[in-house]
Amino acid sequence: MLAHLLGVLFDGLAYGMLLFVLSVGLSVTMGLMGFVNLAHSAFAMLGGYLSVTLTQRLGVPFLATLPLAFVGIAALSTLFERLLYRRLYHAGELDQVLLTIGLVLMAVASCAFLWGTQQQQVDPPPYLFGYFSPFGIDLGFYRLFLVGVGAVIALGLVFGLERTRFGAKVRAAVDNQRMARGLGIDVNGVFALTFAVGSGLAGLGGALAINMVGLDPNFATKYLVFVLLVVSVGGLGSVGGTFAAAALLGISDVAGKYYLPEAGAFMIYAVMVALLLWRPAGLFGRR
């Protein structure tokens, strides 16, 4: 019984880590600039397709494609930010939503056109396949890898935000943008870099997701819902909040499907509703 519970917790945590990597960028940029970037999941999808292209066409080993997906999508998102997003920083939320949803639809159609509508796959190294069972709990290697990556990214982000000058600027700008500008902080520059890092992480998440949940052109629309779930429950602008929310939602989803299969898929939404009723601004949200 306990072994089952621990196994479910582990699987849920792994799924949660995937959601974390996919969502943390959006949480920070929404908290920082208030810019509703619904195309975040499209960046994740493009990161996945980049990884697929690198492994299938150029024979790059899967693990090497992960940092490449991060850098590639960070660069791509900077391009979009310069050309398109900049114009709508002070526009209303509806305009931002319209723009970014339009980008999602374009991304879905482009990916379907360029790569086809079928499922894509990557070949992780053989040591990431399979599982081992310490104390009777099944721990999959790829899921362990996901937990590891998630933890490293979370620690890296927290360290970056708490201990570096740049991080201090980010936190200042999230807290009170006007004041930060008044103090001479280049908020636009801070946002541009944060946006690039956040979108890069989304791209990395997309590449990591392929082996766990698959990749096809509908990835962007499917995962947009989950990313928004995590961001709203975690609170905007908070790395810790996103981590907690992602872990909680991932575990609720897997535990729900294991213990209550009839209500399985609904658990994640039920937990979201309950948490938002308790804390409307999210677990660690500010406003």
Q: Catalogue the E-assigned strands of 111-151.
A: 131-132, 139-140
Which of 79, 152, 179, 265 contacts another protein by CB under 8 A? 265
Is residue 115 at the binding interface for another protein, with CB under 8 A as the rule? no
User: Tokens representing 148?
Assistant: 């590891």
Q: Choose, by CB under 8 A, the member of 61, 118, 176, 179 that binds another protein.
A: 118
What is the rounded radius of gyration, in angstroms, for the C-alpha atoms of the chain?
Answer: 19
CB of residue 208 to another protein, shortest distance in Å: 13
Give, for 88, the enclosing helix (H) or strand (E). none
Q: Does 72 bind another protein (CB under 8 A)?
A: no
Structure tokens given for 58: 């150029």
Q: Which of 257, 271, 284, 285 binds another protein (CB under 8 A)?
A: 257
CA nearest 45: which of 107, 103, 91?
107
What are residue 131's DSSP bridge partners? 140
Contact between 110 and another protein per CB under 8 A: no
Q: Residue 170 Cβ, how far from another protein at the closest point, in Å?
A: 31
Stretch that binds another protein, among 75-83, 150-158, 215-223, 233-241 (CB under 8 A): 215-223
CA count, 13 A, side-chain hemisphere, 104:
21
- Choice between 204 and 268, CB closer to another protein: 268
Question: Whose CA is closest to 191, among 282, 82, 95?
Answer: 82
Residue 264 near residue 256 (C-beta atoms within 8 A):
yes
User: Does position 112 bind another protein by CB under 8 A?
Assistant: yes
**Which residue ranges make up the site for another protein (CB under 8 A)?**
4, 7-8, 11, 14-15, 108-109, 112, 116-119, 121, 129-131, 138, 140, 142-143, 211-214, 216-218, 222-223, 253-258, 261-262, 264-265
